[in-house]
Amino acid sequence: VDEQSALNEEAMVSAISSVPTSFSSLSKAIKYSYSNRKIKNIEADCASIPSQLIKCSSFNTHNVSLFINQKSNPKDEYIWRLDLLSTKDYWKDWFLGFSKTFVSLKIPRLFAVSDIERIDKTLLIGQMQGI
């Protein structure tokens, strides 16, 4: 977690926009995730990707608005459960000060990262101090 990267709205929008908005099958969504992410664990993708998608045939009012907002291909069967770009207004509130707040908590914490190179200075110092 690097607050500066998280607060780089242009980069985040670009990254999110590069992801397909819909898939014709769960297996294609899993294959996409496995092929295009830094985490190379097919078991993790098989476990996590299905819960992040909605089957278009199970549309309700909320799903219809997601489908319209995501500009999905009408022939595809699955869309993302959450339109991440619609949350853009909240990103700064979510990430600004996250590291400092997390490190300063006086309760037991668990911090897991896939790569130590991807954490900011505050979290790196906290990790070295045994948080």
Highest mean pLDDT among 64-68, 75-79, 84-88: 84-88
Q: Band of the pLDDT at 124, cuts 50, 70, 90?
A: confident
> If we measure between CA atoms, which residue out of 51, 13, 11 comes closest to residue 29?
51
Q: Decide: 48 and 59 in contact? Cβ < 8 Å.
A: no
What is the chain's mean pLDDT, rounded?
82
pLDDT tens readout for residues 22-46: 999 999 999 999 998 767 789 999 9
pLDDT tens readout for residues 83-97: 999 999 998 888 888
- What is the C-alpha separation between 129 and 27, in angstroms, rounded? 42
Strand partners, 54: 79
